[in-house]
Chains A and B, each alone.
Chain A
Amino acid sequence: DGGITQSPKYLFRKEGQNVTLSCEQNLNHDAMYWYRQDPGQGLRLIYYSQIVNDFQKGDIAEGYSVSREKKESFPLTVTSAQKNPTAFYLCASSTGATSGREQFFGPGTRLTVL
């Protein structure tokens, strides 16, 4: 079954700790994305990667970091510098071709900072 997996589903972290959210896809997609979702705010882009070993900041990259060492994987680290990290985090992927455009989303990780 092709798709995107995110783990864990729920994550709790103490203030001041870094935490890494996992995102894996087996759709053979070139592009991958991380979004943050807060109530009433829609989806805001944190980072995106259009090819392995390359990534760009989105609209709210401060306090986050990513890596793209493999095509299938795009982990997101929420650092202690992120002032308000409690949110629902969504990973997505797409073919990377302008003719396609559809983004496929994972089930999300809900991060709560205690």
Chain B
Amino acid sequence: QQQVKQSPQSLIVQKGGISIINCAYENTAFDYFPWYQQFPGKGPALLIAIRPDVSEKKEGRFTISFNKSAKQFSLHIMDSQPGDSATYFCAASDPDKGDKIIFGKGTRLHILP
């Protein structure tokens, strides 16, 4: 059973546009929701993370929107740039399971110049 479902699988956005990636989760015990960014041939790196007690977190051009009742969260990239082209993973963590993180399957984002 896939505990974190991510969509779309791939996304193409014009430069300057808004990129939106969505995730849904099942386990209401999850209390930490990070997004990771991965460039080709590199390891993922933490981009931004949120806890369920807030509905939105913004860091620069990146914003997480969180809807606890719907068990959904999304990443918005404002003013998307070609350098944002990467694979993005949403994830979730259960406090009863230490630091184990469950990842979505990823979204390949391509920003057209």
Pair B44/A50 contact, Cβ less than 8 Å: no
Which of A36-58 touch B at CB < 8 Å? 40-43, 45, 48, 50
For A75-109 the 0/1 string (1 means CB < 8 A from B) is 00000000000000010101111101111111110
Q: Is the CB of A31 closer than 8 A to any CB of chain B? A: yes
Bound-complex Cα distance A67 to B34 (A): 28
Binds A, one of B12-20, B53-61, B67-75, B102-110: B102-110
> Contacts A40-B9, A42-B89, A43-B89 hold; do A106 and B101 have CB atoms under 8 A apart?
no
On chain A, which size bracket covers the interface?
Answer: 20 to 34
> Contacts A90-B44, A107-B42 hold; do A102 and B100 have CB atoms under 8 A apart?
no
Q: Is the CB of B78 closer than 8 A to any CB of chain A? A: no
Chain B contacts for A4, CB-based, 8 A: 43
Pair B105/A96 contact, Cβ less than 8 Å: no
Q: Is the CB of B112 closer than 8 A to any CB of chain A? A: no
* Min CB–CB distance A48 → chain B (angstroms): 7
Bound-complex Cα distance A107 to B44 (A): 8
Interface residue tally for chain B (C-beta within 8 Å): 22
Bound-complex Cα distance A69 to B53 (A): 39
Contact with A102, one of B46, B98, B105, B106 (Cβ below 8 angstroms): B46
Pair B99/A100 contact, Cβ less than 8 Å: yes
Q: Is the CB of B63 closer than 8 A to any CB of chain A? A: no
Pair B106/A107 contact, Cβ less than 8 Å: no
Point out residues on A near B: beta carbons under 8 Å.
4, 31, 40-43, 45, 48, 50, 90, 92, 94-98, 100-108, 110
What would 25 A/B residue contacts be, using CB atoms closer than 8 Å? Answer: A4-B43, A31-B99, A40-B9, A41-B105, A42-B6, A42-B89, A42-B103, A43-B44, A45-B100, A50-B98, A50-B99, A90-B44, A94-B99, A98-B95, A98-B99, A101-B34, A101-B49, A101-B101, A102-B49, A104-B46, A105-B45, A107-B41, A107-B42, A108-B41, A108-B42
